[in-house]
Amino acid sequence: MTRLPVKLQAEYKGTRPFVSYNPMNDYFLAMMGVPIIIVEVRSKGQANDHNCMLVQGASLVQLANGILVKKRKKPNFVLVAIYFDHNGIFRCYLIYQDETKVCGHIICIVPIAERT
């Protein structure tokens, strides 16, 4: 597990101050300190890794687009999120933000070749 180079804050059930945490992913690739690809591998029966990855991805997209707006640039950040499941299948998502919400589209589901 690798900690992402950002710390996220969230309001949880109306709590104040915000809850803060430093997300961890199995792997990630960053450019100029901003993750552009995050990867999760399901291990030891933890199926919630998939949902956590998508929530982290949505948060990262909003953060990156907020930074772009402050720098007077177009908020068009796209994050690639890849999830390997326990059946040897990986799912690849593009996560982005349109005018009203953060969207995620699955772009491929590929079975990994069986081992001999």
Q: Is 82 contained in some domain? A: yes
Q: What is the pLDDT of residue 47?
A: 67
Q: What is the pTM of this model?
A: 0.76
Range of the structural domain that residue 105 is part of: 2-111
Of the candidates 83, 31, 74, the one whose C-alpha atom is nearest the C-alpha of residue 56 is 83
- Counted domains in the chain: 1
Segments of the chain with pLDDT less than 70:
1-23, 43-47, 112-116
Q: Residue 41 and residue 82: Cα distance in Å, rounded? A: 9
Q: Is 116 contained in some domain? A: no
Q: Is 60 contained in some domain? A: yes
| Interacting residues of 22 by C-beta distance below 8 A, sequence separation 6+ | 3, 4, 6, 7, 8
Q: What is the pLDDT of residue 62?
A: 87
